[in-house]
Each structure stands twice: as structure tokens, then as C-alpha cells.
A = this chain, B = another copy of it.
Amino acid sequence: MDAFAAIADPVRRSLLERLASGPARVVDLAAEHPISRPAISKHLRLLVEAGLVAADQHGRERHYRLVRAGLAPVRSWTDALVRTAPPIPASALDGLDLEVRRTSRDRRGTPTPRTHEETA
């Protein structure tokens, strides 16, 4: 499971938020959540597999900790999407008015992209 699917579950996000304040054991996390310990254990296994969490073994105890670097794929992807705002300097639009009018009925498959409104 990748990081995107990992953070899709509210329980797992809650676990990550908890681990952000310091490592914890499975029993600790289970005590702080309304679901059973095996359920927590399974979520943690997915989070480890996704690279968002790591575990340190101390005798019979296992201390899970947050691996912030695992969020890098999510951050870079969202950043890339948000940053694709069309640059298009106003100078490039000079004298385009007549051209747009001529082709307004031809290019059906590729409608003119919005450059204002909710494109922000």
C-alpha cells in the first residue's frame, strides 16, 4: 500500500497524528482508540509498509514512531498539481482576440481552458 492509500483512512491519520507527538506501543495506541488491538496492529503494518512509520524493538515491546519523510510523495504530488496554475503572461495574450473568435467553433475536443474563476 502506498502513502496515498495509507492516509485515506481516518484511523490511520489519527495514528499518525498521535505518533507525531512521540513514539508509542500498540497497547498505548489501542487504549486511545475505540477499536481493538489487532485492528491497530494491522493499520500499523500498513503504515510501516507505506514508509510512514517505523518500529524499534525493545525486548518484548515495540515502539512505533512517525517517519515524516514518508509523506514526501504526497507532498510533492499535491505541490505539483497546485503549481500547474497556467503562467500565461498577459503579454502573450496580445492580439489573440481575433484568433479565438475564428476557431471558437472548430476545436470541439479541446475546449479553451479556464484561466480565471475556480482554476485558482
Q: Which of B5, B16, B22 contacts A110 (CB 8 A)?
A: B22
Cβ-defined contact, A113 with B22, below 8 A: yes
**Nearest CB of B to A26, in Å:** 12
Categorize the interface residue count of chain A: 35 or more
Number of this chain's copies in the assembly equals 2
| Majority secondary structure of chain A interface residues (helix, strand, loop or mixed) | mixed
Cβ-defined contact, A118 with B69, below 8 A: yes
Contacting residues of chain A (59-91) with chain B, CB-CB under 8 angstroms: 61, 63, 65-69, 71, 74-75, 77-79, 81-82, 84-85
Q: Which residues of B contact A20 (CB under 8 A)?
A: 81, 84
Contacting residues of chain A (70-120) with chain B, CB-CB under 8 angstroms: 71, 74-75, 77-79, 81-82, 84-85, 108-111, 113-114, 118-120
Q: Which of B71, B81, B113, B114 contacts A17 (CB 8 A)?
A: B81
